[in-house]
Structure 1
Amino acid sequence: MFNRILLSVAVAIVTTVTAFAQPKLEVIGGDTYDWGKVKPPKEGYLEATIQMKNTGDKAVRITEVRPGCGCTKTDPDKYDLKPGEVSTMKVKLNISPTQSGSLTKSITLSWADLAGNDALKAFRSSGTAVPSGADTNIRTGYLYLKADVQREISFMPSTYFSFNDLKIGVEATSKIEFVNNSDSDVTLSDWKTEGGLVVNHTGRVVVKAKGKLDIVGKIVPSAKGNYSGGVKFKTTHPDNAEVDLRAYGFVQEPSSPVFQNGSVKP
C-alpha cells in the first residue's frame, strides 16, 4: 500500500496572505501511484482510481487537474471540498505498443482556498474589491504514475528502420535489435520484404532465451522523395506470432548540396 504523503506545495500566484491556516489537499495513498511490474495491457493503458482529500480546516477548490504527455484523466466528481471531504477521479497511463521497462508520468494538481478563489473570480469578472486578508493563492502539487512494463519480446531502439540522408544509388543501412526476454527459445521464419528492403535473414533463425538478434536492413534508393518499405516475419512466441517492421526515410535530390563532394555550396 501507499504511504500517505502530503502533496508538495508551490505558490503560483503571489498575493498578500494574512490567514493563519493554508488550504490543504492530499492524495490518499501518497503522491505516487505505482502499478509495479506489469504485462502490456491489451487495452493499451493502465487505469486507477485516485482520491483527493481536503485535510485542512478550510474549504478548498480544485482549480485544475492537468495530465502530462502519456496519461489521461477523467474530471473529479467534486471540485469544491469542505474539510474532510473527498474527490474521486479515474486516471489512465497510456502504454504504447513498443513501451518496455520503467515508465513515469505526472499529473499536475492545483487548488485554492474556496472563499479566496470566489473573491478573486468576482474581482476579475466585475471589479469587486478583494476583501482584506483573503487567500487568493493557487497551490500546485503533482501526482506521479509509475509502471514497469515487462515485455517478453521487445525491439530496440524501435519497431521501424530509420534511414537518414538517403541518396539515389547509394546503399544505406539501418538496424533493429530483436530481444527475447522470455525463458524459452523463439524461432523466426517466413521473412517477406517490400519496398526494395533487403535484410540479413531469409530462413529460420532461433533466438535463445534471454538472447538478442540483429536485424539489419539495407536499401539502394532509385528515386527521390519519401521512402517506405518493411519486412514481415513469423515467430513462435504467442504474443508476437506475426511481426511487421516498417522502414522509412527520405531520398534527397541528386543535385542537393549535400552530394557535392561532401560539402555545402556557398
Structure 2
Amino acid sequence: MLRRLLFACAAATLMAQAPVISFDKTHYDFGRITPDRKVAAKYRVTNTGNAVLSITQVRPSCGCTATVIGKWSIAPGESTDLEATFDPRGLKGGVRKSIEVVCNDPKTPATSLTLEAEVVQEIMPSVESVYFHHVPKAATTRSSVRYASGNGEPVQIVDVKAPGAPFLAFAFRQEGKDVVMEVAFDGRKVPAGRFRGVEQATVHFTNPRMNQLALNIQWELKPAVQATPAELVFQDAPGRELRQKLVLKQGEGRAFRVTGSRCSLAGVRVEGLGQKAASQDLSVVLPAALKAGRYSEVLSLTTDDPDQPELTIRLAAILK
C-alpha cells in the first residue's frame, strides 16, 4: 500500500513539473510594403512552466519566410526571441504566412504564428493582359489600362514600344497620381494572312526603381466569312452516306468564291463549290465507308476573299 502511495505521489510530482510555452503575440501585420523591402517581426517566447522548455522545430510555411531563434532550450521563467524575416519579392496583394513552432509542452505541442502584409508595387497595373476578340477588320477597337501609384508619387509614362505590331497605337492621360493608357487596335493595319496573334508591349516609366512593365496583348480578327453552324456534328449508324448543310456568309455583303476544301478525315467532300455570292449554301458529305466510332476532325475551306483566305470548321461524328 505504501509503495502504491509513493508511486502515485511521484507520478503527481512529474505531472506537475512541465514546461508551458507562451508568446507575447501570435500575429504580426506589416501593413503596406513594396516588393523590394524585406521586413522582420519578433515574437517573444516565454516558458511559464516549471520544467525546461525544448523547442524542437520551427517550420515556416514557405521559402519567403526565414526564422532565427535565440535559444532552443528555455529554463522556467526565461524568455527568448524568435525573429521571422519576410521577403515579398515576386508577391503582390494581400499575403498571409505562418510559422509552426513545435515543442515539448504537453498541452501545446505546436503553435502557429502568423504574419501578413499587403504587398504593393510602386506602379500597379489594373491588368497585365489586354484581349481583343473578334475585332472587325475594318474598325478600330479600344481598351484601357490604369497604372496606379503605390507609393504616393505620380506615375508618368515615357513611351510604349510594341515591335512588329503596326496595328497597335497607345495614348495616355494623367488622372491624379495615376496614368490611364488607351490601347487602340486597328484591324485595317493587320498584315494580310494574319488573323490572330499575341503581342508584347513594353511601357516605360520615369520611376528609376520600376522603369518598365510588360503588357501582353492577345487579338483575333472577326471572320470576314462566317459559317453556320460553327461546328458540324454527325450522329447516325455507319454504312451510309451522311450530309449536312453549311451556310457561308460574307459579313460585309461582298461576293466571294470557295476555291477548295480539305479535311483531316479521308473521303469527306464538300458540294456546291465554285459559286460566287455573298451567301452560299454548301453540303458536307461523310462517306458511307466510314466505320463505327467517334471522330473529331477539321474541315478547311479556301476562298478568294482577301480578308478570309481560309476558313476552319470543326467536324465531329458519332457512328454506332
Asked whether the two chains share a fold, i.e. TM above 0.5, the reply is: yes
1:219-238 alignment runs, 5 A limit:
230-237=200-207
Q: Distance in 1 between matches of 2:163 and 2:155?
A: 24
TM-score normalised to structure 2 length? 0.49
Q: Distance in 1 between matches of 2:49 and 2:167?
A: 66
The change in CA–CA distance for 1:86 and 1:265 in structure 2 (over 3 A counts) is farther
The change in CA–CA distance for 1:199 and 1:85 in structure 2 (over 3 A counts) is farther
Corresponding residue for residue 27 of structure 1: 23
Corresponding residue for residue 96 of structure 2: 104
Q: Distance in 1 between matches of 2:91 and 2:183?
A: 19
Judge conservation of contact 2:68–2:84 (CA < 8 Å) in 1. Answer: no
Look up the equivalent residue of 1:105 and give its one-letter code: K
Structure 1 unmatched runs, 5+:
1-17, 114-134, 164-172, 250-254
Corresponding residue for residue 13 of structure 1: none
Judge conservation of contact 1:73–1:89 (CA < 8 Å) in 2. Answer: no
Following superposition, the deviation at residue 214 of structure 1 comes to 5.6
Residues 19-66 of structure 1, C-alpha deviations (whole Å, 9 max, x = no match): 3465322223x101222344x163x42123333221222212112111
Mapped pair 1:244 → 2:240: no
Corresponding residue for residue 146 of structure 1: 116
Corresponding residue for residue 47 of structure 1: 40
Corresponding residue for residue 161 of structure 1: 129
Q: Distance in 2 between matches of 1:150 and 1:31?
A: 24
Corresponding residue for residue 180 of structure 2: 213
Q: Distance in 2 between matches of 1:208 and 1:80?
A: 57
Q: What SS class does the counterpart of residue 62 from structure 2 fall into?
A: coil
Q: Distance in 2 between matches of 1:235 and 1:139?
A: 52
How many residues align? The count is 208
Residues 193-238 of structure 1, C-alpha deviations (whole Å, 9 max, x = no match): 246596551x5x223125563665979997xxxx985222323445
The change in CA–CA distance for 1:258 and 1:107 in structure 2 (over 3 A counts) is farther
Equivalent residue in structure 1 for 2:31, among 29, 33, 36 = 36
1:37-186 alignment runs, 5 A limit:
37-38=32-33, 40=34, 42=36, 44-69=37-62, 71-97=64-90, 99-100=92-93, 102-113=94-105, 139-157=109-127, 160-161=128-129, 177-180=146-149, 186=155
Q: Distance in 1 between matches of 2:74 and 2:21?
A: 9
The change in CA–CA distance for 1:206 and 1:84 in structure 2 (over 3 A counts) is same
Following superposition, the deviation at residue 149 of structure 1 comes to 3.7
Look up the equivalent residue of 2:30 and give its one-letter code: W
Look up the equivalent residue of 1:36 and give its one-letter code: G
Following superposition, the deviation at residue 186 of structure 1 comes to 3.5
Following superposition, the deviation at residue 75 of structure 1 comes to 3.9
Q: Which has the higher contact order (CA 8 A, sep 6+)?
A: 1
Fraction of identical pairs, as percent: 23
Look up the equivalent residue of 1:23 and give its one-letter code: P
Corresponding residue for residue 167 of structure 1: none
Equivalent residue in structure 1 for 2:161, among 184, 187, 192 = 192
The change in CA–CA distance for 1:52 and 1:233 in structure 2 (over 3 A counts) is same
